[in-house]
Amino acid sequence: CSFSFFSSWLPQTVPFRGSHWQTSLLAFRASLPMRAQPKKKKKVDVKREQAQKDRMKKKIKKLEKAAPEMIPIEDFITPLKYSDNNRQVLRSLPPLSFEETERRVLLLKKWCLFKQKQDEAEKKAIQTLVEAQQEALKELRLESEELYQAAIRRDEGLFPFERDEPNYTPPLPGYDPPEGKCIDITKVYTQ
């Protein structure tokens, strides 16, 4: 029967059209040329759309198969304005005089000595600290073994140890620091 012929012709995506044909049996011949043209367009359209979709999918697959692009680390890329040819050195300062260089060298030597003495004093202080503690522990051991064992146990609550650093001036009581505005301009990259 020609019904089934037409209905098998149609692509499976439009099943409702098949039932549409079967209802109007008498008007079949008349409607055939009218329906044929738009049907062709739709089919070609549908085929064209399908082809387009496939092409897109292939492109997407190709892109995905390619290695993911590395996210640039902004810290490692020197901006162009700091590169060699753009440099503007502070050359307006006069060259150093002989006295100045002498003074600098002597100051550096004094500093070296100062730091050495400071370091030695620190090391000595730490040494006395350790010795005093050892002595205390020795005496404690003589006293009672149990207290000694309690003393040499590790103190879990000691670390992490936090403390406020010393500043140049003590905190001002009742000071309200002015609020600042912070605009975040970090670039976010997606892979």
Partner 1 sequence: TAAAPRPWRLFGAMCLLRLPRITQPLEKVEEEMAALMGQIELEKSHYSDHEIRKLEEEEQLRRRKENIDDDDDEVRGKTVIMAQDLEDKWEQKLLQFKAAPRVTDADKNNNRTSLNRKLDRNLMLLVKQKLGNQELWLLPQVEWQPGETLRSTAERAMATFLGDHIQAKILGNAPYGIYKYKFPRAIRTEDNMGAKVFFFKAFLQSSDLSQAELKEDYLWVTKDELGDYLKSEYLKKVNRFLLD
What's the Rg (C-alpha) of the chain?
A: 43
Please count the CA atoms within 13 angstroms of the CA of 112 that sit on its side-chain side: 6
Q: Among 123, 163, 181, 187, which residue sits at the site for partner 1 (rule: CB under 8 A)?
A: 163
Among 76, 83, 161, 185, binds partner 1 (CB under 8 A): 161
Residues in contact with 96: Cβ distance below 8 Å, sequence separation at least 6, in sequence order: none
Name the nearest CA neighbour of 74 among 190, 188, 191: 188
Whether 42 and 49 have beta carbons less than 8 Å apart is answered as no
- Interacting residue with partner 1 among 1, 158, 183, 185 (CB under 8 A): 158
12-20, 56-64, 137-145, 181-189 -> range binding partner 1 (CB under 8 A): 137-145
Q: Does 154 bind partner 1 (CB under 8 A)?
A: yes
Q: Which residues bind partner 1 (CB under 8 A)?
A: 82, 87-90, 93, 104, 107-108, 110-111, 114, 125-126, 128-129, 131-133, 135-137, 139-140, 142-144, 147, 150-155, 158, 161, 163, 166-173
